[in-house]
Amino acid sequence: MASGPIESVLCGQRVEAVDGGYRLRVELTEGLAVTVHNDFRLSGPRAVQHYYPGLTMAPAAGLTGLVGTVVTAVRVSLAGTLELDFDNGRTIAVPPELGPGGPAEAWRVSGPAGPLFTSVPGGYLSV
């Protein structure tokens, strides 16, 4: 998996808040945020939970349990899947949007000045 500069931006950041709705928003320190519009999964030591933001979602215990944790690893596959590992043993995995009819972007990392990394349809990464 290729990680590039996205890893240096997100690793070591602490989760400040998690918000749901028609997307997942993970707010991090330094004004960074990861916004997820595509379906995703949260895996941990004992279970895997699947989420579907397009149908609206409220952050469940697994997601709210990320508040206060630290991002320990970040990977972006060549196909565009984003994986975030946290120091509590959980991982968020967001596949790219590969077909028509899905969200315009599967996920985005933004900072105080705007977007930094964006997954666009077809699994491509815009920097």
pLDDT at 3 over 50: no
Residue 4's pLDDT band, with cuts at 50, 70 and 90, is low
- What is the count of structural domains for the chain? 1
Global confidence as pTM: 0.88
pLDDT at 102 over 70: no
Please name the residues in contact with 101: beta carbons below 8 A apart, sequence gap of 6 or more. none
pLDDT at 21 over 80: yes
Amino acid in the structure at residue 5: P
Residue 125's pLDDT band, with cuts at 50, 70 and 90, is low
- The label of the residue with tokens 């815009």 reads 126
pLDDT tens, position by position, 34-91: 999 989 999 998 889 888 877 777 777 789 999 999 999 999 988 889 999 999 999 9
Residue 1's pLDDT is 37
Please name the residues in contact with 113: beta carbons below 8 A apart, sequence gap of 6 or more. none
Domain carrying residue 69: 4-126
pLDDT at 107 over 70: yes
CA distances from residue 80 to 12, 35, 36, 97, 124 in whole angstroms, order as listed = 22, 15, 13, 9, 6
